[in-house]
Amino acid sequence: MSQFVYSRFVVMFCAGLFSLALLFGVATPATADEPSSGADEAQASEDKRDKQWSQWERMFARRGESLELHQRAMGRLTSLVDEYPDDYEIQWKCARAFYYFSQRYEKEQDDLGRAIQVTRHGLRCAERAVRANPRDFEGKYWRLMHQVRVTAGESQLRALREAAKFVKTLEQLVEEHPDRAEARMMLGGLYRVLPGPPVSFGNNRRSLDILKEAEKIGPVRAELALELAETHKALGNTEKARAYYLKATKAPGYPGMDFELEDARRYGREMYEKLGR
């Protein structure tokens, strides 16, 4: 994704509190220089949240060492998102983290059923994110990513039936957020992976046109470079595909997602060499 905007929505209790004067039974306002206990509690809550999130990020940073450490980090994240259900940043980052964890779990454990269960955790986070901030891009984008993955994982036939709905939602996302390349990237990818007529409306050339639009918006991160490579490969443009696979090996990733970036770069290297044989 283009540079992530790290925003947080924290409930602040700023209502003025009154010291009850039992004498005469009259409520007397607190003086201006008296600290508000409500503000203190809110600050303490925010400090606690930030400390817990920093601890989780350090734990999550070690996920590349083993799948077991990755699982532990996701288990801890599950507790955090339940503790802060209205925290937009925590919820959308949870959705993103579970999406990539689901992919890794399926790849390393060869268990699609369990991977889809994992994805459902991410979908819940994405839905909470959208409730917390219905207008922002991240929540809506990751909700759709999870919806597509869950649907396709559970039933290919159902995924084909609902493809038009997914495309319409993506087109709306593109219209609402024209400066974000990710929705176009996903839309272009869908046009490539869907079968063509008469089964569905997949179209590799349409896929390439949309991905080129995403490329113009930029930045061209590793995932977008791989999508362009895959579509060129599907069209038989081997040399162009190799060029984009090579570009993926050097392209940047998303902040805080170094493990996933290296995985994308590794795949780019493998495909670049494979097509050169």
| Nearest C-alpha neighbor of 276 from the set 252, 245, 249, 253 | 245
Full-model pTM = 0.83
Instruction: Calculate the alpha carbon distances from 261 to 64, 133, 159, 224, 267 in Å.
Output: 11, 28, 28, 12, 10
Q: How many helices (H) and strands (E) does the chain have?
A: 11, 2
- Return the pLDDT at 38: 80
Query: How much is the mean pLDDT over the chain?
Result: 88
Chain segment 23-59, per-residue pLDDT in tens: 223 333 444 445 557 888 889 999 999 999 999 999 9
Chain segment 129-176, per-residue pLDDT in tens: 999 999 999 999 999 999 999 999 999 999 999 999 999 999 999 999
Q: What are phi and psi of 272, to 5 degrees?
A: -60, -45
- Return the pLDDT at 277: 81
- Return the pLDDT at 243: 98
- Return the pLDDT at 21: 29
